[in-house]
Structure 1
Amino acid sequence: MSLSSHTRLTGVLVAGVIATCPSFASAIDGVTIVPQIAFQQKQLDFKQSFKGGDNAGIEGDFDLTLPTLNLTVTALYQKGYLSIKYDNSFGNNFADADNGFTKANSEVERSDFSITAGYNVWKALSLFAGYMTGDTKITPDPRYIDNPGAQQNNAQCVNTFPCFPTVISNLAQDHKLLDLSPYEQKYKESGFFLGASYGLQIKQLGTLSFSVAYALMDGEYTDNYLEGTETPKTFRYEGDSKGYSLGLTWSAPLTQNTGYFLDLRRQNYNMDADDNTALFSGSVETEENMTTATVGIQGYF
């Protein structure tokens, strides 16, 4: 596949653009397989606020940088492509979180998965669509909150008024007092997206491409508060999540059958969800902004 023809097949969402691709074919005649491996630095800015009900007014945020491993495999055929991508943060990454019911140094993990199908519609312009899921997990460290009405130094206080945890409490401490599994919160968005990309061939050096995508998804916020006891009080908020992605990618060959790519991407997800347990009233709004810098290599088979 020549450089000029390949510039039409750009814009794989989040994974970056498939770079300059020589004429290699797989066992299926005319199909080129392009595996990628990449390292990302993902800056996550997280904000949350509760609306209405007993938890009204609770809000907080945190930010941190997550080192992330990205794995992608793409099949190219004529003017179309199909791509599967997975990335996952690694290492122990902590943030000073003050979103609802954490109030502590908290470990943060993020993973994403997507399947994307695209087609070149005109010159270097491609349209694509697909399905994605994204998961953020927050595990706060247990600690005491020294405010009136908050936790005391005994397990009996967890479910006893007036020291039942207030809106400022660290729920992980209750799990520690009761010898339960660590307290954690999970945020998930999943659904479909549509987008477009355009690639510019820069002489014979490589390809500079731009992409934009919009997603309509389901959103969910859950926790495991007091799971394993006779009176669990777990959160489960469900609703809609909307998001967009803006990307700028440079890709170029290294050898006849390898290449590299550099990708800068901005993603935003907004979730508006309502209580689904009948234990709590009101709703919760969550916003996640991610700015990701990626460097990777790829092969052509």
Structure 2
Amino acid sequence: MTKPPLTLYLAAPRGFCAGVDRAIKIVEMALQKWGAPVYVRHEIVHNKFVVDGLRDQGAVFVEELSECPDDRPVIFSAHGVPKSVPNAAQARNMVYVDATCPLVSKVHIEAQRHADAGLQMIMIGHAGHPETVGTMGQLPEGEVLLVETPQDVAEVSVRDPERLAYVTQTTLSVDDTAEIVAALKSRFPAIIGPHKEDICYATTNRQEAVKAMAPKCDAMLVVGAPNSSNSRRLVEVGSRAGCSYAQLVQRAENIDWRALEGIASVGITAGASAPEVLINEVIDAFRARYEVTTELVETAQENVEFKVPRVLRKPA
């Protein structure tokens, strides 16, 4: 039986960003340097395949520092942690390595700088996301107020409307964030924003590629984890950009083939914590069922690289 034809549009950039690459490398190098087990506070990045692979090498994933023994190294995830976490590790004389993405660390530094200048912070982010928890935890309770929507901006209660600054989670939808920033500036004209927007280059680039790809596709699949903020934003961006069926899939086995019956084109992208091996697995699953033609939709090229911490570059 002949396979039906299908055009696969592949978004570029897609998949791993420099911060994720660095975080995974940090766990691997820590295992090489200190041997197993190495403890990791929270999933190093939000991807089950990646986490399972590191667990197989000897990484132990925990949610709190209290679950770690004093005598084994601990790594803090790429999303960043509240200041109380490294302080607690120091108090216990633990060896720890901070795998916080440098672009998240930039937001932490920014928040501290504004606080030092006597400004109260407003953070645009998702409640409970580890990055938001980490950024808000850089400053004392009440110094960072969280808003998730323009409606929240209308209701937020600030200390002094003349002495405010805002920061954002790095993995948000660029368009949604612009709406919330506009609401903040409208209500608090004196509010100070970042020198350069906080949403990271990789999040922005992946969303731009999806916007370019979505109008061409009958359906779009985003390879990523359900707890990955940037992956979920790609689904939303694809839907808004004109693709009527946009879905998040963790692996090829999660594809709903019945929903794709009769289609002629599919767009494929991946969140910043999804490895290329999973993208290839999805492409192979389509090749098994269709006569596939692939087309690249490239909107940017990335060559960013972040160094691992010095402690891992020195021999044990």
Same-fold call, TM cutoff 0.5: no
Output the TM-score relative to the length of structure 1: 0.22
Structure (1/2) with the larger helix percentage? 2
Give the number of the structure whose residues are more often strand, by fraction. 1
